[in-house]
Structure 1
């Protein structure tokens, strides 16, 4: 098991950041910036972006091309892989997150928090990654952690532009 953690600060209130994170259009923009092959976003309830106090669940299913991965990873996942990120927002500033790869021995779970920081908001993600493959599981966990770091870096760049009006 490997642990992944990241913190990014946005130039907005926690309510504004949460509304952005609940917006399917934002999640689709992030997925395309990450270079996915396909994306599907569902939010329940559908109007969660407009209601900062309402608990919601967001499910983002993406398909990625694996041609850039090392051969050892492609051997297990194939030419493309699917990931399903589920965020369950129980409060305005905290969620649980799971990241699954259907059909693969990979699982990840953790937390997402939004914390006021001066005039902005710190978005913190902490996830434990497990790959249940003997011998090479640790190497694959490290690849997943690297992919998470790159993905959340792109999400932050896209989010900062989104909050500044680039949509």
Structure 2
């Protein structure tokens, strides 16, 4: 399944890039997502950075067909490699789970602001249930992106 999600910020691509590369911002996003735990690393490399978040999320509220695969929590390791402020490659691994998530994030000028475009390929390798689980994963990721966007809007207004 393909995920395509666009969000806009009232800030330049360079300002959004700096925010995304700030560990304090990423911690604030994890707190807003109410994860069980997170281990965040942001490493600057040349003009870019690598962001890694090894976190555990609650799975309460999932439909019963999904809950038997996830348990009470699920671990995800999100890795973004930003060469510069134009974009990143993304992978999200879930150790021990039959899911593969990979794609890109791009930042582009949009009037006086920035358009952030997230493109991910979601694959779950469970016969018969893959489509339902991929849709659930899609919706969960979009909700997480929207939470990050809300935190980002506030961050760019100076609410830190």
Does the TM-score normalized on the shorter chain lie above 0.5?
A: yes
Residue matched to 1:59: 52
Cα distance in structure 2, aligned partners of 1:71 and 1:139: 12
Cα distance in structure 1, aligned partners of 2:24 and 2:102: 24
Deviations 1:1-34 (A, max 9, x none): x111111111111111001001111111111111
Could you list the runs of 5+ residues in structure 1 that have no partner in the other structure?
A: none
Residue matched to 1:21: 20
1:71 aligns with 2:64: yes
Within the candidate set 63, 69, 85, 2:78 is matched to: 85
Q: What TM-score, normalized by structure 1, do the two folds share? A: 0.92
The runs of at least 4 consecutive aligned structure 1 residues that moved more than 6 Å come to none
Cα distance in structure 2, aligned partners of 1:62 and 1:32: 11
Give aligned pairs, total: 160
State the superposition RMSD in angstroms.
1.1
Cα distance in structure 2, aligned partners of 1:139 and 1:145: 10
Q: How does 1:69-148 map to 2 (within 5 A)?
A: 69-148=62-141
Residue matched to 2:145: 152
Query: 1:118 Cα deviation (Å)?
Result: 1.1
Query: 1:38 Cα deviation (Å)?
Result: 1.0
Q: Secondary structure at the match of 1:58?
A: strand
Of stretches 64-73 and 53-62 in structure 1, the one that deviates more from structure 2 is 53-62
Could you list the runs of 5+ residues in structure 2 that have no partner in the other structure?
A: none
Query: 1:94 Cα deviation (Å)?
Result: 1.1
1:6 aligns with 2:5: yes
Q: Secondary structure at the match of 2:141?
A: helix
Residue matched to 2:30: 31
Query: 1:164 Cα deviation (Å)?
Result: 0.2
